[in-house]
Amino acid sequence: MITFNDFKKLEIRIGKIISAEKVEDADKLLKLEVDLGETKRQLVAGIAPYYKPEELINKEIPILVNLEPRKIRGIESQGMLLAAVEEERPILLHPDKEVSPGSIIR
């Protein structure tokens, strides 16, 4: 179990996907550019077998933004998208109404 104070350390915000492309020589990876309001972030996500890049454009998704950046296949990932998993398949989460990019999730 984590404490509530530990949970409060997580900064989760709504990001709007503005570009998506396959990562060269990586069947499972997509490189996403996400609008977070005042900033943009680049993410690398293992969702390529389940989502086509073009169907992700303009989708709003929750992003963990205060995760330490990490290089994946030589590309810096500056956060992590959050998804549900059903039968080992990621299902992207999204708000039921349009919200501003960068909106905080509490």
CATH number of the domain bearing residue 88: 2.40.50.140
Asked if residue 5 belongs to a domain, the reply is: no
Task: Name the pTM for this structure.
Answer: 0.93
Asked if residue 83 belongs to a domain, the reply is: yes
Asked if residue 4 belongs to a domain, the reply is: no
* 24, two tokens: 């060269």
Alpha helices of 19-100 — where are they, by DSSP H? 53-56
Asked if residue 75 belongs to a domain, the reply is: yes
The pLDDT profile of the chain, 106 residues, written as one tens digit per residue, is 999 999 999 999 999 999 999 999 999 999 999 999 999 999 999 999 999 999 999 999 999 999 999 999 999 999 999 999 999 999 999 999 999 999 999 8
Total domains present in the chain: 1
Asked if residue 6 belongs to a domain, the reply is: no
- Which residue, chain included where needed, has tokens 């709007």? 16
Q: Which residues contact 101 (CB under 8 A, 6 or more apart)?
A: 14, 15, 16, 34, 35, 36, 37, 60
Asked if residue 2 belongs to a domain, the reply is: no
Containing domain of residue 43, as a range? 11-97+100-104
